Structure 1
Amino acid sequence: MDVVWSTRYNTGIQLIDEQHKELFSTVNELRTSVQAGADRQVIEHLLDSLLRASARHFASEERFMGEHGYPDLAQHVAEHAAMLTSLKELQAKFLESHHSMAMMVPTFMEGWFKHHISDGDFGFVTFLKARGLV
């Protein structure tokens, strides 16, 4: 089952929305590749891409939040750091036992996306809207 992008995840911030869509797409590509029995190198590349895209996205969000004085920035940064740590741990476990661990990544990311975008990112969007910035 794919991680499905929905308009309910639209933040109204074009860069953030594009990055969220990229992350959803990478997770879906990873899931499809694992289910199809793709080569280990393909999966490793996708995991690495997911990790890099996540780190890039988090840096964008954090920079944007910092520029606008978002009061919950520290909490948001902590959530990002925890997710990156979890993703790196899953990646390391994949290197030990590749196929079974690879399917855990899309499942983990799907749950994290749904929670983080709906709860965390929309708190920032509400903050920006109250100031007429979005």
Structure 2
Amino acid sequence: MAFLDWSSELSVDFEEIDNDHKRLVEMLNFLSDAVTHAKEDAAIGQLLDDLLGYTMWHFRHEERLMQLHGYPGFLEHKMEHGELAEQATDLQERFQNGDRDVAGEALPFLKSWLAGHILGTDKKLGAFLSAKAQ
């Protein structure tokens, strides 16, 4: 069973963003699997780096879409991204500095944040972008 299952409930009804989110869910599940099965630190570190790197890329992608389409909630949405980016960087630094428990601790936080962000802030963005596309 996956750590986080993609479902239609997580869809924001905008394919470009949904595809990014599906990839984030997949990467989170890879990290969860590695932690659960006590993979080597190097493998866990690489998966954590990959997940956080893709997350930052995704944030920039969403922010470009918001600017391109004149999304009125841009600043608030960008601030939310900034807060997670700070927390994610802290987690990454802790792991790199030898705190091997951080990956396991990060999983529930990242799952909760991702699902909450999609179901709240990103649903609004998806509705806005879908309406603009019509």
TM-score by length of 2: 0.91
CA distance in 1, matches of 2:48, 2:56: 12
CA distance in 2, matches of 1:7, 1:107: 21
Uncovered stretches (5+) of structure 2, i.e. residues with no partner = none
CA distance in 1, matches of 2:89, 2:41: 17
Match of 1:76 in 2: 77
2:133 is equivalent to residue 133 of structure 1: yes
Match of 2:88 in 1: 87
| SS of structure 1 residue aligned to 2:133 | coil
Cα 1:90–1:122 shift into 2, 3 Å: same
CA distance in 2, matches of 1:14, 1:35: 31
What are the residue-to-residue correspondences of 1:50-69 with 2, within 5 Å? 50-69=51-70
Count of equivalent residues: 133
2:109 is equivalent to residue 108 of structure 1: yes
CA distance in 1, matches of 2:34, 2:15: 28
CA distance in 2, matches of 1:88, 1:25: 20
1:116 is aligned with what amino acid? H
CA distance in 2, matches of 1:73, 1:132: 15
CA distance in 2, matches of 1:17, 1:127: 14
TM-score by length of 1: 0.91
Q: Indicate conservation of the 8 Å contact 1:11/1:121, yes or no.
A: yes
Q: Whose relative contact order is higher, 1 or 2, with alpha carbons under 8 Å and at least 6 apart? A: 2
Uncovered stretches (5+) of structure 1, i.e. residues with no partner = none
2:68 is aligned with what amino acid? E
Deviates more, 1:90-99 or 1:48-57: 90-99
Cα root mean square deviation, aligned: 1.5
Match of 2:35 in 1: 34
